[in-house]
Amino acid sequence: MSNRKGLLIDLDGTLYHGDRVIPGAAEWISSLDEANVPYLYVTNNSSRTAEGVEGHLRHLGIEASADRVCTSALAAAAYIAAESPAASVYVIGEPGLHEAVSEAGLHITGEKPDYVLQGIDRSFTYEKLTSALRLIGQGARFVLTNPDLQLPSHDGLLPGAGTLGAAISAASGVEPVVIGKPSSILMKYAMERLGLPAADTIVVGDNMMTDIAAGAAAGCYTVLVTTGVTTMDNLASHQTRTGVKPDRVCHTLAEIQPDKL
């Protein structure tokens, strides 16, 4: 294959379902490594650190390293740092988001911050909602890691970061800057990390409404695998809802050979 082709690969629904690896996923990743295909893992999940994502993948038997992980938390922190170096940030989120903000050289505070940055937070409270409302009202800019309304878990669906963001937006009357898929911001951050332009980047994911929509928005070639959210049964409706069509549809990862795309 051309040395200039690289992959941005989604995680949940593409390589695994929670704690269950999708058949053939580990072998496919190994084949990319053997062929020296450049790739990064790209996820909307802001709760885990890059090391946490690496650990989860390795637990499932999938080759991984933290330097190949791009989360919405890392992209959000990089976005704020690029816009306002050393800015102050009120963070609503979990360890992955707090660590990303600190490592980006940003100052975490609850006193007159420049930004309110919100991700998934399973300790979200009325007090945090009140703080966000008031700080945004005082002029803080509102940034949301990702717009996912629901979060899958081992015992059913949970409210996602987008649901919490909707509450903050409703209370404050301010729409956030969205970093994660289907926004192109996360994808552009990942492409910068990969060192390739959109024309040489292939986005692989299971969800038309996030992965494929984001890839299309960023100008990348997109490949849908029907192992997760979007299936052959709902593909047409998902295409209608997004106004986007994947460049290719595959039933399994094994069908994806970057040198043939």
| Catalytic site positions | 10, 12
Provide the terminal-to-terminal Cα distance of the chain, rounded to the nearest Å: 9
Cβ within 8 Å of residue 149, ≥6 positions away: 159, 160, 162, 163, 166
Kind and range of the H or E run holding 149 = none
Kind and range of the H or E run holding 163 = helix 161-172
Instruction: State both tokens at 203.
Output: 């986005």
Q: What are phi and psi of 74, to 5 degrees?
A: -65, -40
Q: What one-character-per-residue DSSP string does 192-255 give?
A: HHHT--GGGEEEEES-IIIIIHHHHHTT-EEEEETTSSS-TTTHHHHHHHHT---SEEESSGGG
**Region class of 220: left (phi > 0), else alpha (psi between -120 and 50), else beta:** beta
What residues pair up with 203 in beta bridges, in sequence order? Answer: 8, 222
Q: Which sign does the torsion angle of CA 199, 202, 208, 211 carry?
A: negative
Q: What are phi and psi of 27, to 5 degrees?
A: -65, -35
